Amino acid sequence: MLADCGRVNSLPDGAGVELRGWIRSKRHHGRLMFIDLRDGTGVVQVTLKAAELPEADFQAVSSAGRESAVVVWGVVVHDPRAPGGAEVRARKIELLSASLEEFPIKKGVGPRFLSDHRHLAIRSPKAAAILRFRSNLLKSIRNWFEREGFVEVHCPTFITAAVEGGATLFEVNYFGKKVYLTQSVQFYQEAAIYSLGKVYSIQPSFRAERSKTRRHLTEFWHVEGEMAFAGLDDLMRVVERLVGEASAETLENSRELLKLLGRERSPESVEPPYHRVKYSEALDILASKGVQLEWGSDLGADEEKILTMEFDKPFFLTHFPRKAKAFYHMPDPANPELTLSADLLAPEGYGEIVGSGQRIHDYEQLLARIVEEGLEPADYKWYLDLRKYGSVPHSGFGLGVERLVQWLLGLKNIRSAVMFPRTMSRTYP
């Protein structure tokens, strides 16, 4: 019977199994040999006693290096001496493909070496567990959107006008013309709501920010949503339910992975509702902690950290000053110096995981803001067009997948939340 390494444990004593996998490590004692065999579902010890299998098989494997591929036929034995409580006693083993060279990933290697060999490092059970967790999370996110009636749309990666600041665009030579890699699909989703109502996208965004921190990538996966007939309160309700419910479901479905990663995080610890803190209230909280911040300036990392100490769940920071936000943000009718915006901050200093807000839907108001920011209205022609034909209040958000994975798993660096990270200084492998 073909079996998974990760599930040998649950098979009865004496069961005959076939395992296909890679030699993670080997302990050789002359006529006795132990192999930790890995296959993507887990690791199991295979015990080879020379007397119990063909001599040629034993010899072939004794000279095989780590990560050699093998097929093992053997018998399940529950034995307290085996890691995990069960092992497979080999009766026959076939060396499918011996490693040509010593496998470079081993005990004691440093972070730079691991990054340079990421294509091999992802074989480690921990790296694989993170990738599986990420896959579970995206499945839950997608299921949530589908349950809530959002329609998935796919937007272009080549664009001509900036959504966020223009300085952070990657320029691409497009048949001699300058175009850019997308930073957000927001503008295209704003077009889509007039066709589909509620939409979502899951695709990469690119930011040419010269950020050298543990929470920045130049290419990251962006979950974005946009809704017609939605104001700031509707928006925050959607964001907290999406983040909270999808995260809780993922944690529930990933208990084994969390155990393997040595992480503790209960589904209850991420459940909504989340606190809403207005920008002005945040300044008061900071002032009470002895930190004076000038009204209008954005919060720095230190200020953010102090605020996150106040909460043990993510929380919204709302109503940012107009000058701290992009031109399309809806001014607060109660105070036009503020915007109807909401960032969701993760606790423990992991920073912003969602940026969101209500968009300006009035043509003249949007045009005035574009001019006020010194932008060229002609560059935003089609975007302005959307305000000409039955324009309605609408809101949307963007969630950074790697940021969320990083916070949920307590990862020190965002790079381990993605299979092949792209940063300012890394495009290899």
Interface with RNA (CB under 7 A), residue from 2, 51, 56, 100:
51
Q: Which is nearer to RNA, 29 or 177 (CB)?
A: 29
Choose one: 5-13, 205-213, 237-245, 279-287; the region binding RNA (CB under 7 A).
205-213
Binders in 229-258 for RNA, by CB under 7 A: none
Choose one: 208-216, 247-255, 262-270, 369-377; the region binding RNA (CB under 7 A).
208-216
Distance CA 185, CA 218 (A): 16
Binders in 276-305 for RNA, by CB under 7 A: 298, 300-302, 304
Contacts of 395 (CB under 8 A, 6+ apart): 226, 227, 230, 231, 232, 234, 235, 340, 356, 357, 358, 359
Nearest-approach distance from CB 48 to RNA, in angstroms: 10
Q: Does 107 interact with RNA (rule: CB under 7 A)?
A: yes
Q: How many residues bind RNA (CB under 7 A)?
A: 77
Q: Does 119 interact with RNA (rule: CB under 7 A)?
A: no
Q: Does 85 interact with RNA (rule: CB under 7 A)?
A: no
* Sign of the alpha-carbon dihedral angle for 307, 309, 310, 315: positive
End-to-end CA distance of the chain: 37
Contacts of 23 (CB under 8 A, 6+ apart): 35, 36, 37, 38, 61, 64, 65, 66, 67, 68, 69, 70
Binders in 7-26 for RNA, by CB under 7 A: 25-26
Choose one: 105-113, 274-282, 307-315, 375-383; the region binding RNA (CB under 7 A).
105-113
Binders in 333-392 for RNA, by CB under 7 A: 343-344, 351-355
Cβ count within 10 A of residue 59: 12
- Count CA atoms within 13 Å of residue 368 on its CB side: 9
Q: Which is nearer to RNA, 85 or 252 (CB)?
A: 85
Interface with RNA (CB under 7 A), residue from 54, 65, 156, 296:
65
Q: Which is nearer to RNA, 337 or 385 (CB)?
A: 337
Choose one: 13-21, 46-54, 270-278, 283-291; the region binding RNA (CB under 7 A).
46-54
Nearest-approach distance from CB 170 to RNA, in angstroms: 12
Binders in 159-188 for RNA, by CB under 7 A: 164-165, 168, 184
CA distances from 71 to 28, 57, 193 (A): 18, 11, 53
| Token code pair at residue 42 | 């887990």
Distance CA 344, CA 398 (A): 10
